[in-house]
A and B are shown apart, each in its own frame.
Chain A
Amino acid sequence: MIEIRELTKRYGGTVAVDGLSFEVRPGAVTGFLGPNGAGKSTTMRVLLGLDAATSGEALVNGRRYVELRRPMREVGALLDAGAVHGGRTAFDHLRWLARSNGIGTRRVAEVLERVGLAGVARKRAGGFSLGMRQRLGIAAALLGDPGVLLFDEPVNGLDPDGVRWIRGLMRGFAAEGRTVLVSSHLMSEMELTADRLVVIGRGRLIADTSVRELADRFGRGVVVRSPRPAELTGVLAAAGGSVEAAADGALTVTGLDVADIGEHAAARGIPLYEVRPRGASLEEAYMRLTGDGAEFGAVAP
């Protein structure tokens, strides 16, 4: 459980986070979205006690991070995969971290195994690829078997295999009942990973919602073409869908998915020429939400 309450962080004259409040609950992956410079990393740094809040507070399991006696047993964080001393081996890096929170050395071998680095445990981290460092960072986050996990842009720079691996890992953590907060500036990534979304821009909360709600709010829908549009409209409306006709004769249906529409049409013997989910609408929704919130927006020529 993570609670951000009226959090404000100023660096000199720059307001990075401005009166931000939201909660992150266990058992779900919460995507923390916003354009670059929106204040995602700052919020995470304040949450981990690395930066001091100007006002407001950030709580983990009801307490400030610095009050946690052995924080790695409650919170696992991956902020910057590059933040490793290159001269230290993967094993030694995890071993000092384990020592710092009273965790046994056996656990180090376990997490190395879990992230697939057991074979390179005795190699210096300086020679690791970005993907391997990312895995080492995740191993560090898992050391204390924490109930709360924070990942700051975990898929940046990863290859497709690595991206899928992280996605599966986070889904798995949520399924185990842990609290998972993942920041990203890519809605397309969060659409595949997250259950809930916290969207911020210029340090302020823009949306705190579920992925489904956001999709519905911006009318994701299904595009349907049929030679008998009027009849189909009636059938689908009766089945609980809402139908809008576009100028080109296509229908946009919300409230029913592709399978529902196919079943209802087939039951009445109405031919369908096209049934397709309207793609990329979450991306559009995100762009519309954050359109005014981008810190470094490009100016059209």
Chain B
Amino acid sequence: MTDAIAAEWCKLRSVRSTAYVLGTVAAFLLLCAWWSWYAGRYWDGLSAERREAYASAPPEQPLALALPICGAVLGALTVTSEYATGMIRTSLAALPRRPRLLAAKALVAGTVMLVAGLVSTTAALAAGKAVVGDRPLPAFERPFAEHVPHLLLMAVTAAAVTLICTGLGVVLRSTAATITAGAGVLFVLPTLATLLPAPWDERIWSVMPGNLADQIAPAPGVTVRHGVLPPAAASLLLVAYVAASLGAGAFVFSRRDA
């Protein structure tokens, strides 16, 4: 297994797409700093009573959009780029135990995304706090420790989406199809769900994999709440999505001719 992990890490490091994905995360980190600056400037221009009611998004908000889609791309490419080039046969000739190869791929891509998520969200919060300074913005002013669960869950969600798309990539074998499916589940279906009549709009929205993090550990100081699931149920659901996708991938991978 260590051979497989070392090989997958070597592969991931040596293609440009990985750098592009991490570069996108870095770009959104800059966007977080800009957003914090904007939120502070906006607050400065408000009258005293409007400041009371001002509820801004938290500093890491831009990353909440970017991290899952970056994870979807990284997770998909880790598998589908090999099907596109035919390199999957080279990989399987080198590492013929298929579940092990898939596990190594998932582990490496998932870990990279988890670390990228932790580093970027922590940096976004630190930058946001520095930019906003001593202005009492609710989404910025809580102590760092109170933010930790939410930031952790953002990173975990990004890693979970990476794993879901890794499994999906094995089933679909196409980069376009996998990323489209990933983006559909993350962005299109939740929007469509809001068009449903109550209470189904909220219920369907709540079970979407990209919306579980806020139900498990919401951002501190943010009063607008969505989702009907208790944290334990949302956590289980996130694990179930990952298990189902990787399980389907492993099942298909073991039985299909390469």
A residues near B, CB below 8 A?
A: 11, 45, 48-52, 65-66, 68, 70-72, 75, 77, 79-80, 82-89, 92-93, 95-97, 99-102, 140
Contact = CB atoms under 8 A, between A and B. Distances in A.
B97 A96 contact: no
A11 B257 CA distance: 10
A72 B4 CA distance: 13
Interface string B78-103: 00011001110111111111000000
Contacts of A95: 10, 14
Contact of B89 (A66, A80, A101): A80
Interface string B13-25: 0111100000000
B3 A87 contact: no
Contact of A85 (B81, B94, B95): B81
A83 B89 CA distance: 8
A269 to B, nearest CB: 63
B14 A88 contact: yes
B86 A83 contact: yes
B87 A50 contact: no
B96 A71 contact: yes
B193 interface: no
B103 to A, nearest CB: 14
Interface of B: 3-4, 6-8, 10-11, 14-17, 81-82, 85-87, 89-97, 255, 257-258
Contacts of A79: 89-90, 93
B258 A84 contact: no
Contacts of A87: 15-17
Contacts of A70: 3
A233 B258 CA distance: 59
B85 A86 contact: yes
A77 B89 CA distance: 10
A96 B257 contact: no
A140 B90 contact: yes
A41 to B, nearest CB: 11
Greatest chain A CB density within 10 A among B16, B81, B93, B95 is at B93
B89 A50 contact: yes
Q: Which secondary structure dominates chain B's binding surface?
A: helix
Given A50-B89, A51-B258, A85-B85, A101 B17 contact: no
A275 B17 CA distance: 65
Contacts of B7: 96-97, 99-100
Contacts of A88: 11, 14-15
Contacts of B89: 45, 48, 50, 79-80, 83
B250 to A, nearest CB: 15
Nearest to A92: B14
B258 A50 contact: yes
5 contacts: A49-B96, A82-B86, A83-B90, A100-B94, A100-B95
A250 B247 CA distance: 73
A233 to B, nearest CB: 56
A184 B107 CA distance: 40
B112 to A, nearest CB: 15
Given A80-B86, A80-B89, A87-B16, A99 B6 contact: yes
A86 B10 CA distance: 15
Nearest to B88: A83
Contacts of A84: 85, 87, 90
Given A87-B15, A96-B11, A100-B7, A45 B90 contact: no
B97 A66 contact: yes
Given A48-B89, A50-B258, A75-B93, 17 more contacts: A45-B89, A45-B257, A50-B93, A51-B258, A52-B255, A65-B96, A70-B3, A85-B81, A86-B85, A87-B15, A89-B14, A92-B10, A96-B10, A97-B7, A97-B90, A99-B3, A100-B6
B258 A100 contact: no
A66 B81 CA distance: 23
Contact of B3 (A75, A92, A101): A101
Nearest to A82: B86
Contacts of B92: 48-50
Nearest to B95: A100
Nearest to B10: A96
Given A51-B258, A97-B7, A72 B85 contact: no
Contacts of B16: 87
Given A84-B87, A87-B16, A97 B257 contact: no
A278 to B, nearest CB: 42
